[in-house]
Amino acid sequence: MSNYQDLLAQKAALEKQAAELEKALQEARRAERAGVIAQIKSLLAEHGLTVADLGLKAGKVAGAPSSNAGRKVAPKYRNNATGETWTGRGLQPKWIQAAIASGKKLEDFTI
């Protein structure tokens, strides 16, 4: 059975190897992307196309999050008794659920 120092040395060696592999992966990805970009540019030039002809905006990747991703949303509902608010997105908070269960309408809390 290995002792603690042997295991630490083995861990360090594996971490170094993992870092080297990560570098190699990044370099391979860069090279592959450069080849794909060159191929796309060649095809665009060959057929006289532009990025606009593809229906894409320059610098915008299909499937990438929009520039609005992660922005705060203004609340739409407020509990006047406590001041709690809710944007209307996601699960209803418990104070809304309780109010609806007691017979109130969601519209009663609209800001």
Span 27-40, pLDDT tens digits: 999 999 999 999 99
The CA-based dihedral angle spanning residues 38, 39, 43, 45, taken in that order and rounded to the nearest 10 degrees:
10
Residue 90 is part of a domain; what is its CATH number? 4.10.430
The answer to the question of residue 64 being in a domain is no
Number of independent structural domains in the chain:
2
Q: What is the pLDDT of residue 72?
A: 85
The answer to the question of residue 72 being in a domain is no
The answer to the question of residue 23 being in a domain is yes
Q: What is the pLDDT of residue 9?
A: 94
Helix (H) or strand (E) holding 77: strand 77-78
The whole-chain average pLDDT of the chain stands at 88
Shared domain for 42 and 84, answered yes or no, is: no
Q: Is the pLDDT of residue 56 over 80?
A: no
Q: Is the pLDDT of residue 55 over 70?
A: yes
Shared domain for 44 and 82, answered yes or no, is: no
Q: Which positions ≥6 away from 51 have C-beta within 8 Å?
A: 44, 57, 58
Domain that includes residue 8, residue range: 4-54
Shared domain for 83 and 45, answered yes or no, is: no
